Amino acid sequence: MTETRPKQGKSVFIRTYGCQMNVYDSERMADLLKPMGYAPASAPDDADLVILNTCHIREKAAEKVYSELGRLKKAKARRADAGADMTIAVAGCVAQAEGAEISARAPVVDMVIGPQAYHRLPELLARAARSRGAVLETDFAVEEKFDRLAAREADGPAAFITVQEGCDKFCTFCVVPYTRGAEVSRPVDAIVGEARALAAQGVREVTLLGQNVNAWSGAAPAGDNSGDWRLGELCRHLAKIDGIERIRFTTSHPRDMDDGLIAALGEEEKLMPYLHLPVQAGSDGVLKAMNRGHTAEHYVRLIEKIRAARPDIAISGDFIVGFPGETNEDFEETLALVETVNYASAYSFKYSRRPGTPGAAMRKQVAEAEKDDRLARLQALLERHRTDFNAAQIGRALPVLFEKPGRHPGQLVGRSPYLQSVHANAPDSMLGQIAPVRIEGVTPNALAGALNDEGEDAA
Ligand code: SAH
Ligand code: SF4
Ligand code: F3S
């Protein structure tokens, strides 16, 4: 937050849907617009520019955009009555997937900007001001996008850094390879530069983002002749930056979980003991039809190997129920895999048929009622494991990075190494600091505890 008045007194409201990469992109769009005089607006109705940064992953996510556009149409009309303008932009993955269809379906839209084109926002805004129809920009130019981003501003002690974008895996259910394009890695120097800038502003924790973050690769920096690096080397390198105390990365793909990264998880203390490693399903037949490129056994072995390297690691995952052809027996194998792995947390979804993906054309689509039933059963099991995992923290002292004030006066909220929200009474001066908290209680979505007395061990 800044108190300086914008140059031209304009305001922008950005609504973000979907994954953390969209959260990162929204922050960067705000950084880019700030020098142009755009300050954050508190509500879309008050904004000169509204950007919907959209997600196309499931039908429901994509449809949300159109209901929001319906509301914005009214807000835009109200503003016009009051003599003010509102520019409406659709950015992100729906923009990429649907392009000009969006402005055909919702003529209120002034700009359609794909996820690899938002660095062109300044020129697009100028074009939109001159143009009568909607302005469309959905080219892929990932490296150029990162090169042209404005200086990074930190917002709190934990920050995201996109290190990799796009996906070459083509799982048969998924739109990401089409909306984000091919796998691209950002160079080491750019990532280190961003991490240093964030650390200098008080950031203590960085989460490296990528649709396939562990597919990241890059040349070692000049003067280091260790050749090509993978994510493990990058993490070890970032761990040397003063001020960076915690490193996370997400989302990983089982096929890219190489030995170097597993070793880094075991040896680098700044790497947090938490790994999001989606498997989607527990049946080899379904995994094959999904084009995941590995079996259930391969995945379970991989988890064993990771746990051998880092015994306290918490595993999280994603699941899809009701992929075309999934039988009840197949689904039982998903439940069995979940029992074996024992996830600390997980996301689970009903299969959503996405236009243009091979899964959408497959016969033997599963009935909606069957998907509902499987999802309820899976979620009950995952929830039991999550609750058990959280309850197991009671009595332990967990190092917590305090990120913001809590709901009650005198309280701060932070994150444990396992990404749990933790509430504790602590002075504001501890914001941005890591301190041990003795966990005393568990609520459905958080842990509560007390600052550990001095001298006690943070076990
Ligand atoms: N790149 C990551 C995740 C991308 S999307 C990975 O490979 O794991 C995030 C999650 O959304 C996926 O893991 C999957 O569980 C879910 N998802 C993707 N496409 C979906 C679809 N068509 N229907 C339902 N869930 C889907
Ligand atoms: Fe989608 Fe699969 Fe790529 Fe993940 S790995 S983004 S699920 S295609
Ligand atoms: Fe959604 Fe695009 Fe992310 S489809 S999940 S916003 S990569």
- Ligand 1, atom 10, lies closest to the CA of 318
Confidence at 132, pLDDT banded by 50, 70, 90:
confident
Top mutation candidate among 16, 22, 253 for ligand 3, by most atoms within 8 Å of CB:
22
Q: What is the mean pLDDT of residues 2-21?
A: 77
Check residue 9 and give its pLDDT.
Answer: 84
CB 149 within 8 Å of CB 124: no
Whether pLDDT at 5 is above 60: no
Domain definitions of the chain by residue range:
10-140, 144-391, 397-451
User: What is 397-451's CATH topology?
Assistant: OB fold (Dihydrolipoamide Acetyltransferase, E2P) (2.40.50)
Mean pLDDT of the chain: 93
How far apart are alpha carbons 265 and 270 in whole angstroms? 9
Cα–Cα distance, 216 to 449 (Å, whole number): 37
Decide yes or no: CATH 3.80.30.20 for domain 144-391: yes
Atom 7 (ligand 3) nearest CA: 176
Q: Which residues line ligand 3 (CB under 6 A)?
A: 18-19, 21-22, 55-57, 92-93, 175-176, 179-180, 211
**pLDDT in the model for residue 133:** 79
Instruction: Determine the average pLDDT of the residues in 107-131.
Output: 89
Q: Which atom of ligand 1 is nearest to the CA of 57?
A: 19
Q: What are the E-state strand segments in 340-381?
A: 345-350
Lowest mean pLDDT among 5-9, 157-161, 218-222, 328-332: 5-9
Return the axis-axis angle of helices 296-309 and 328-341, rounded to nearest 10°: 10
CA end-to-end distance (rounded Å), the chain: 36
Q: Please compute the mean of the pLDDT values over residues 402-407 and round it to a whole number.
A: 94
Mean pLDDT value across residues 210-227: 92
Ligand nearest to the CA of 167: 2
Q: Label the pairing between strands 87-92 and 111-113.
A: parallel
pLDDT at 147 over 80: no
Q: Who's near 71: CB < 8 A, 6+ residues apart?
A: 44
**What pLDDT score was predicted for residue 453?**
66
3-state secondary structure of 424: strand
| CA–CA dist 316, 258 (Å, integer) | 18
In the reported structure, the alpha carbon of residue 55 is separated from the centroid of ligand 3 by a whole-number distance in angstroms of 5
Cβ(238) – ligand 2 distance below 6 Å: no
Measured from the CB, is residue 170 less than 6 Å from ligand 2?
yes
Q: What is the pLDDT of residues 50-62, one digit of tens each?
A: 999 999 999 998 8
The answer to whether the beta carbons of residues 112 and 100 sit under 8 Å apart is: yes
Q: 10-140 in CATH: which number?
A: 3.40.50.12160
| Nearest protein CA to atom 5 of ligand 2, as residue | 169
* SS3 of residue 314 by DSSP: strand
| Half-sphere exposure for 435 (CA within 13 Å, toward CB) | 23
State residue 110's pLDDT score: 94
Q: pTM to 2 decimals?
A: 0.93
Q: Is 397-451 in the same CATH topology as 10-140?
A: no
Nearest ligand 1 atom to the CA of 347 is 15
